[in-house]
Amino acid sequence: MKEWKYFFAQHRGALAAALLFFVMFTIYAVNHPAGLTPNVVQTAANKGVLLALVAIGQTFVVLTAGIDLSVGMVFVLCNCVASYVVAGSPTMVAFGIAAVLATGLFCGAANGAIVIFGRLQPIVATIASGAVYFGLALWLRRSPGASPKFSSDLADVMTGKVLGIVPSSGIFLAAIVLCVWIPFRRSPLGRAVYATGSSESAAYMSGVPVKRAKFAAYMFSGFFSALGGLFLTFFTYSGEASSANGSTYTLYSIAAVVLGGVSLFGGRGSAIGAVFGALAFRAIGDLLFVFDVDPLWQPLFQGTVLLLAVSVGSARLLGVRNKLELFS
């Protein structure tokens, strides 16, 4: 009983996000003209996975009490890279995917180096590095397009359905969480990330490798943004250096992370919460379509839901007895 309580307290944010997602998705599926068919789930999963991957990347950095405002631009850059290199024979495709992921890792490493060794504030540093990554994306793709030998077979597999029911992008997302996030969370490095985010000076005093943890967080952020970019290429069959896309995904990744119960002050939350946050955010956005509302109202609706969701956290103020507690 006690342990169950602790578990609940620790994962409150993630559980709330999961609940929100299931409620929203149920409303969505019930009211969808086609009903809850595999195709509806597939479309929803494909849209949700893009944001979920970027949000996982953002989670790593936010856990260290930093922020990565270049995730959207890395996402766009990797989309452009992938539209060139994920092509040709299976071997070449494999090397191409490795190249895309390496691009993301490199961007993450550059961010990490600037923030940790350059000692710049992550907000400003990643805004500036994001401009550089977007410039590179523009250089690669001045107009949207793809390599003529683009591997659409692989793309179809990754965005299709397994056994005709389960969306493969959803399976991929679950596999990533199981194979990367959970081992990471239990590793010394994962603990170092949480410790750094909780209190950097205390972590340093306890001999936690603070710099290594932060650097790893930025690398992971780049890596997952690259995965997102790769998936975007699978969905669209093309690469596009779209600045609007980049900034949208940066902002939505923060929204997803917050909805998923990850604290912007660091040290609290999990990637699983962020995944559900992302899926819930997408489900909310899609909700208006099934109710046949004028799409003009969609941004307002999404914004209002976001506003309400972030205001929920201030319910803790009801328990504040001493006004000084407000400022801590």
Partner 1 sequence: MPPVSSAATPRNRRAMNPNDLPIIIAFCCILALLLVGSLYSRNFLSPEYLLQQLKVGAFLGVIATGMTFVILLGQIDLSVPWSVTAGAMLGCAASAYGPIGEAFAIPFGVLCGVVIGTVNGFSVAYLRIPSMIITLAVNAVVQGLMVAYTGGFAPQDSATSSMRLLGAESTFWFVPNAVLVWAIVGAAAAFVLGRTTFGRAVYAIGNRESVAYLSGIKTQRIVVLTFILSGSLAAFGGVLLAGYAGKAAQSMGDAYLLPSIAAVVLGGTSILGGRGRYIGTVAGVILITLLQSILSVVQIQEFGRQIVYGVVIILMLLAYGREPETR
Positions that interact with partner 1 (CB under 8 A): 67, 114, 118-121, 123-125, 127-139, 142, 200-201, 204, 241, 247, 251, 254-255, 258, 264-265, 294, 296-304, 306-307, 310-311, 313-314, 317, 323-324, 326-328
Nearer to partner 1, 168 or 253 (CB): 253
Nearer to partner 1, 110 or 146 (CB): 110
Contact 100, 228 (CB under 8 A): no
Nearer to partner 1, 123 or 162 (CB): 123
Q: What's the closest the beta carbon of residue 278 comes to partner 1, in angstroms?
A: 15
Nearer to partner 1, 238 or 298 (CB): 298
Q: What's the closest the beta carbon of residue 88 comes to partner 1, in angstroms?
A: 26
Q: What's the closest the beta carbon of residue 285 comes to partner 1, in angstroms?
A: 11
Q: What's the closest the beta carbon of residue 138 comes to partner 1, in angstroms?
A: 4
Q: What's the closest the beta carbon of residue 192 comes to partner 1, in angstroms?
A: 16
Q: What's the closest the beta carbon of residue 250 comes to partner 1, in angstroms?
A: 10
Nearer to partner 1, 8 or 291 (CB): 291
- For 165, phi then psi, to 5°, come to -125, -55
Q: What's the closest the beta carbon of residue 240 comes to partner 1, in angstroms?
A: 14
Nearer to partner 1, 157 or 310 (CB): 310
Nearer to partner 1, 26 or 304 (CB): 304
